[in-house]
Amino acid sequence: MSSKSVAAFSLLTAQAVRSRAERMLALGEAGELPNFRVDLTRLDATANLVIATMRKAYPALDVPFHSRWRHFCIDGEDRYAAIERRPGVRDRATRARAAFDLAIVSVLLDAGAGPQWRYRDGATGKDIGRSEGLALASLDMFTRGAFSADPRDPLRADAAVLGTLTSQALRDGFQVGDKNPLVGLDGRAALLRALGERAAANPDVFGRNDSPRPGGLFDHLAALAQNGAI
């Protein structure tokens, strides 16, 4: 392993994150950062602004949780909820595995898309960029069965398919072209291939009740539950 790789892996600990964050804060307070400075005397005003904004938008303070699932809501319509309501018998465990598959794959595909990329939503005709566009593109690919090894069951992401995913598959699914470039396309494909390879190599975690897939993590976690709680 190269010295750069060792240095990079050394950052993958909570202690490393805390120490670097403390260092950045100290530099900001000292005015030694090139693009901004930290003024803790403005902290109370910032907190009050956030509170006022929340109360204006959500007077009852019923703030919806923020997660990948919020990005699947387009113009107030929960696209994934509509997909789950499709006809057919799908027990709770099957639905949970599918949700795990989608969430894991979609989050791994979510990184800076670049200023030019947009995804044309087939339902509304809107061009959507950033995380919202990436989420919708991944949802559409998932719904079409782009990650499934079983044509009869499109709502799954099999390790075998992820492990051989090509950049071209993502290029097609994300509507990428010369006039619609997506930053890091090859890296996103490589990340999903790595996910598929890891899932396939660890069937005890990802293939307890099904062929290996990221969604198998649900079964692994469910097996750890005691009295219905993890």
- Residue 6's pLDDT is 76
For residue 89, what pLDDT band results from cuts at 50, 70 and 90? low
Q: Reply yes or no on whether the pLDDT at 176 is more than 80.
A: yes
Taking only the tens place, the pLDDT of each residue in 103-115 is 999 999 998 888 8
For residue 28, what pLDDT band results from cuts at 50, 70 and 90? very high
Taking only the tens place, the pLDDT of each residue in 30-60 is 999 999 889 999 999 999 999 999 999 999 9
Taking only the tens place, the pLDDT of each residue in 117-128 is 999 998 889 999
DSSP secondary structure letters along the chain: --HHHHHHHTTSSHHHHHHHHHHHHHHHHTT-SSS----GGGHHHHHHHHHHHHHHH-TT--PPPPSHHHHTEETTEEHHHHHHTSSS---HHHHHHHHHHHHHHHHHT-S---SS--EE-TTT--EE-HHHHHHHHHHHHHHTTTT-S-TT--S---HHHHTT--HHHHHHHTT-BTTB--TTHHHHHHHHHHHHHHHHH-HHHH-SSSSS-TTHHHHHHHHT-BTTB-
- Residue 146's pLDDT is 96
Q: Tell me the average pLDDT across 14-37.
A: 92
pTM > 0.95: no
For residue 84, what pLDDT band results from cuts at 50, 70 and 90? confident
Q: What is the mean pLDDT of the chain?
A: 91
